[in-house]
Chains A and B, each alone.
Chain A
Amino acid sequence: SQQGEEDPQALSIQEGENATMNCSYKTSINNLQWYRQNSGRGLVHLILIRSNEREKHSGRLRVTLDTSKKSSSLLITASRAADTASYFCATVRGTSYGKLTFGQGTILTVHP
């Protein structure tokens, strides 16, 4: 079964609007991370939330984690055209910090 499934698969909004992306996972985790990928490029780490945290903020990003529902959400407030990218959640597999299981991702398009 797939860890880290996200919805929506694609999201199209206007600049200034908020964008919310959701992620669900299937097994217990130590932490959950969100990454951003511009088209055809590598990944950029956005934020990490630990299993004992419920909410975390970083600039215009707000991440929530509900371990009882095995879900997380990423909120980007006051979106900009430059936020256009794919966003992935990822969970750590086992004890190796770098072995990540990625969700399917949400393609976010912010129209100017």
Chain B
Amino acid sequence: GAVVSQHPSRVICKSGTSVKIECRSLDFQATTMFWYRQFPKKSLMLMATSNEGSKATYEQGVEKDKFLINHASLTLSTLTVTSAHPEDSSFYICSATSTLAGQETQYFGPGTRLLVL
């Protein structure tokens, strides 16, 4: 089946630095990708919709200047956490929509664990 990768899988950074997380669809093209955030033992919360070639759409309460999203190609979306703070520590998961065989299916990446010290 389709594969979505994320890089890095884990990152530790100092407070105030920026961190970039990549989400790639490896064997299909995705005009739309989604970024979710998950706190320990909690559910996933949709942060934003990443649209290839246009601006991302952010969910209510998500700071667009804090979480920069770029979807420059049909296989890559990046999430940059700017000026990270300890409260940004979380598990970030992306997903991409595949329309293979005329059926829409959502594939999730393995997640990136961010720890801000």
Contacts and interface: CB of A to CB of B under 8 A. Distances in A.
A91 to B, nearest CB: 12
Interface stretch (A60-68, A70-78, A95-103): A95-103
Given A40-B111, A44-B108, A99 B43 contact: no
A101 B46 contact: yes
B93 interface: yes
Category for how many chain A residues contact B? 20 to 34
B106 A45 contact: yes
Given A45-B106, A98-B106, A100-B106, A40 B46 contact: no
Contacts of A35: 108
A72 B6 CA distance: 31
For chain A, what secondary structure do more than half of its interface residues adopt (helix, strand, loop), or is it mixed? loop
Contacts of B42: 104-105
Contacts of A59: none
Category for how many chain B residues contact A? 20 to 34
B97 interface: yes
A69 interface: no
A98 B43 contact: no
Interface string B82-115: 0000000001010111000000111111110100
A26 to B, nearest CB: 15
A2 B53 CA distance: 32
Interface string B5-24: 01000000000000000000
Nearest to B5: A42
A96 B49 contact: yes
B102 to A, nearest CB: 13
A88 interface: yes
A96 to B, nearest CB: 7
Interface string A22-58: 0000000000010100001111110000000000000
Contacts of A97: 97, 104, 106
Given A45-B107, A98-B104, A107-B41, 17 more contacts: A35-B108, A40-B113, A42-B109, A42-B111, A43-B44, A45-B105, A45-B108, A88-B43, A88-B44, A98-B32, A98-B96, A98-B97, A99-B46, A99-B49, A100-B46, A100-B106, A104-B43
